[in-house]
Amino acid sequence: MSDQDVAPVPERDLGEISSPHHHETVAPGVPVRDVTDGGPEMVQFLDADGKRVSRGNCEPYEPILEGLDPETMRSLYRDLVLVRRVDAEGHALQRQGELGLWPSLLGQEAAQVGAGRAMSTQDYAFPGYREHGVAWCKGVPPLNLLGMFRGVNHGGWDSNANNFHLYTIVIGNQMLHATGYAMGVQRDGAVGTGDPSRDTAVMAFTGDGGTAQGDYNEALVFASVAHAPVVFFVQNNQWAISEPNERQFRVPPYQRAKGFGFPGVRVDGNDVLAVYAVTKHALDEARSGQGPTLIEAFTYRMGAHTTSDDPTKYRVSAEVDLWREKDPIKRMRSHLEREGIADPAFFDGIDAEADALAAEIRTGCQNMPDPELPTMFDKVYAEQHPVIDRERAELIAYHAGFEEGN
Amino acid sequence: MAGQKLTLAKGLNAGLRAAMEKDAKVVLMGEDIGKLGGVFRITEGLQKDFGEERVIDTPLAEAGILGTAVGLALRGYRPVVEIQFDGFIYPAFDQIISQVSKMHSRSLGYLKVPMVIRVPFGGGIGAVEHHSESNEAYFAHTAGLRVVSCSNPEDAYWMIQQAIECDDPVMFYEPKRRYHERAEVEIDDAAGAPRGLHEAQVLREGTDVTLIAYGPMVKTCMEAAGAAADEGRSLEVIDLRSLSPLDLDTVTASAEKTGRVVVVHEASTFLGMGAEIAAEIQQKCFYHLEAPVLRVGGYNIPYPPSRFEEEFLPNLDRVLDGVDKALAY
């Protein structure tokens, strides 16, 4: 059989669900996806130049945007800059040998700050391991995040201090934790009371790769069936390590939500205003008892997967260049300047604050002590356990033997 | 429930009911546990009395059940999860190993996930594939989990309550083939549980050989000890009750007394509970042993079709054969 005899794979009629990828044919049989175009449904309030626009299905979110005062706009910009600086410092500390690994959020600042800032104090976040920006917005001290990457602990912060759960490394596990937590919120009667200090929502964070996991899909089923107050926030940064969207799904995450029985929204993940408004809307709905929402923040991972990764092996630099034009900080700054909301002194002040924060993180990391040896046996169990007690004693005795010169 | 005839299934049901009455944060989760009362009827009547919010019929997805149980526990609830059959736990293995067992330590003690994972286990009921497995060793191998197994109605009643009260996650193995066997039970709620969750119990005292078993094999070993007595042999029988941690004091005291030990379980012997128990006994009781610690267990094959299971599972004759071998040294 010659090549000409091979019938092309027919496009299947999927009804209202559209094909996720834009098949621009550059050569016969070679579809190329335009990874910078989120499609006509994507909600956007700031274009790449920082101009105020109303694109996509943005109507429900306009009132939230109209309610933002200049002070809030400036503080969103401040968070974007500080979060990028925290991330850059983490990356530098890894290169200097102070951290074993660092997963960079570069490019995803608007997605994370928009989502994090939309949360109320009582709302609970369940992150993956790249959500440094959400952590920042929830008030988690950046140094807390460094411990696990330095190898002094596996997280170890008090999640309940800021309602920000420990980082979860196994992709997708946390989606179910968030759903279960939201089921607990329902049982506590903390949904739909109308009391803004009581009603609580939960946010679950993962990426495009995470949407392939069983846990992710089971979480959406459980949340839907329970009508749980949870918002699933998928940062589609286009790359799951080396695998592009085409290797993870044929229907994009926001469209799949409908199949689970709740709304899905695609938002420009590099537009902090759009992400803020869409997330705020979804959280308000969850708190008022209207059930889950899935938000797909369409963004881009500008850096490597982690400091151990080499993206030059699997993606072209032209793609990265295209996304650099959509930079979330540049566009918010342009907007503030264009609207006269911030002056040069403000921007200089934020840059100085970022310098100070970076210095603080650097010093804090370098001074982070190694854990005391016997503490690795602590807190394995909440209640007394004979094996743990015996092994701790044996290790202490073993080391004491050296000290006595035996 | 003084002096009444109670099945192990009813003991569990009554224990769950008592725990739910005592603590409003106790919630039950599982497949078909509501109106049906579970495929073994362990939760019968509980949804009717405690409501759908506390006795949750979940979607049919084990990872989902365990993952949401973690979330509920983080919110302050005490989930009791029913895995329908031993062989269906594997979709939840990741959540149990990666999250349930490690949550307390990785949070440096800030977080607790108190939960009980109930697993009807073992064979002997002529079931189809995946319904007769003994996978307790996977979980006993994992730090952060506690693993126990009840063998009789009284333990079922008390141990399930103790497991629920425990602040650590507990794997609770229930011998499904013993669910509906009856026993006279004196339950004195005022006096409380007769022994701790992690204490082994010497069920029958003897001097020649110690038999160590748990769950479904306890009854088999007691019958073997009775048969051996008719032949003039004095067997001691220990119901281990707790697989992690092990009550080594009770085990080694008996091993030192008899000098001969046979460990009996349905699970395959390779790296099964018997391997760990034998290692501990030879290390702690080396100079007291008259024979190597022997194991009688399932063969090291996948659980066979049920027409084979009488040969696969240890029975009275195979236990006594193990006793003969121990005495031959």
Please report, as a single letter, which amino acid is at residue B216.
P
Give residue B188's pLDDT: 84
B130 is catalytic: no
Give residue A31's pLDDT: 43
Give residue A1's pLDDT: 43
pLDDT at B265 over 70: yes
Please report, as a single letter, which amino acid is at residue B153.
P
Please report, as a single letter, which amino acid is at residue B239.
D
DSSP H or E run through A202: strand A202-207
Give residue A12's pLDDT: 59
Q: Which residue has the higher pLDDT, B183 or A308?
A: A308
Which of chain A's residues have a Cβ under 8 Å away from the Cβ of B109?
A: 378-379, 382
Q: What share of chain B is helix, strand, coil (3-state, %, to 5)?
A: 40, 20, 40
Which of chain A's residues have a Cβ under 8 Å away from the Cβ of B114?
A: 382
B68/A183 CB distance under 8 A: yes
pLDDT at B258 over 90: yes
| One pLDDT digit (tens) per residue for chain A, 406 residues | 444 555 555 555 655 554 444 444 445 544 456 778 899 999 999 999 999 999 999 999 999 999 999 999 999 999 999 999 999 999 999 999 999 999 999 999 999 999 999 999 999 999 999 999 999 999 999 999 999 999 999 999 999 999 999 999 999 999 999 999 999 999 999 999 999 999 999 999 999 999 999 999 999 999 999 999 999 999 999 999 999 999 999 999 999 999 999 999 999 999 999 999 999 999 999 999 999 999 999 999 999 999 999 999 999 999 999 999 999 999 999 999 999 999 999 999 999 999 999 999 999 999 999 999 889 999 999 999 999 999 999 999 999 999 876 5
Alpha-carbon gap: B56 to the closest alpha carbon of chain A (Å): 10
Which of chain A's residues have a Cβ under 8 Å away from the Cβ of B110?
A: 156-160
Mean pLDDT over each residue of chain A, to the nearest integer = 93
* Alpha carbon distances (Å) from A139 to A15, A90, A161: 44, 17, 9
Alpha-carbon gap: A386 to the closest alpha carbon of chain B (Å): 7
- Among the listed residues A305, A331, A333, A335, the single catalytic one is A305
Q: B4-185 has which fold?
A: Rossmann fold (3.40.50)
A218/B63 CB distance under 8 A: yes
Give residue A20's pLDDT: 47
Question: Measured between CB atoms, which of B27, B167, B248 is closest to A382?
Answer: B167
A173/B98 CB distance under 8 A: yes
Give residue A24's pLDDT: 44
Beta bridge partners of B212: B238, B263
Cα–Cα distance between A246 and B43 in angstroms, integer? 45
Q: What is the pLDDT of residues B320-329, one digit of tens each?
A: 999 999 999 9
Q: Could you give the angle at the alpha carbon of A155 between the alpha carbons of A152 and A159, nearest 5°? A: 145
Q: What is the pLDDT of residues A363-395, one digit of tens each?
A: 999 999 999 988 999 999 999 999 999 999 999
Q: Which residue has the higher pLDDT, A35 or B25?
A: B25
Cα–Cα distance between A22 and A19 in angstroms, integer? 8
Q: For chain B, what are the domain ranges?
A: 4-185, 201-327
Alpha-carbon gap: B221 to the closest alpha carbon of chain A (Å): 27
Question: Measured between CB atoms, which of B110, B168, B248 is closest to A158?
Answer: B110
pLDDT at B3 over 60: yes
Q: Which two tokens stand for residue B146?
A: 């506690």
Q: By the 8 A CB rule, do A342 and A74 touch?
A: yes
A371 touches chain B (CB under 8 A): no
Question: Measured between CB atoms, which of A157, A166, A180 is closest to B71?
Answer: A180
Question: Measured between CB atoms, which of A168, A177, A381 is closest to B144?
Answer: A381
Which of chain A's residues have a Cβ under 8 Å away from the Cβ of B146?
A: 381
Domain B201-327: assigned CATH number: 3.40.50.920
Q: What is the pLDDT of residues A19-72, one digit of tens each?
A: 444 444 445 544 456 778 899 999 999 999 999 999 999 999 999 999 999 999
pLDDT at B118 over 80: yes
Please, which pLDDT band fits residue B135 given cuts at 50, 70 and 90? very high
Cα–Cα distance between A292 and A220 in angstroms, integer? 8
Which ranges constitute the DSSP H helices of chain B? 8-22, 46-50, 62-74, 93-94, 103-106, 136-140, 153-165, 217-230, 248-258, 273-284, 309-312, 316-327
pLDDT at B248 over 70: yes
Q: C-alpha B10: how far from its chain's center?
A: 16
* Alpha carbon distances (Å) from B54 to A179, B99, B292, B311: 16, 23, 50, 42
Q: Model ipTM?
A: 0.97
The closest alpha carbon to B241, from B168, B301, B294, B163, belongs to: B163
Give residue A406's pLDDT: 52
Which candidate in A144, A171, A181 is best for mutational testing of the B interface (most B CBs within 10 A)?
Answer: A181
Give residue A25's pLDDT: 43
- Helical pair A70-95 and A272-287, crossing angle rounded to 10 deg: 100
Its pTM stands at 0.95
* Radius of gyration for chain A, computed over Cα atoms and rounded to the nearest angstrom: 23
Give residue B78's pLDDT: 98
Q: Which two tokens stand for residue B172?
A: 């609770």
Q: Which two tokens stand for residue B28?
A: 């039950």
The closest alpha carbon to B77, from B88, B86, B68, belongs to: B68
Asked if omega into B245 is within 30° of 0 (cis), the reply is: yes
- Among the listed residues B131, B141, B180, B288, the single catalytic one is B131
Question: Measured between CB atoms, which of A180, A219, A379 is closest to B109?
Answer: A379
Kindly write down the DSSP assignment for every residue of B255-312, as one continuous string: HHHHS-EEEEEEEESTTSHHHHHHHHHHHHSGGG-SS--EEEEE-SSSPPPGGGHHHH
The closest alpha carbon to B4, from B151, B154, B177, B149, belongs to: B154
Which of chain A's residues have a Cβ under 8 Å away from the Cβ of B59?
A: 218, 221-222, 225
Burial of B21 (0-12, 13-18, 19+ CB in 10 A): exposed
Q: C-alpha B1: how far from its chain's center?
A: 23
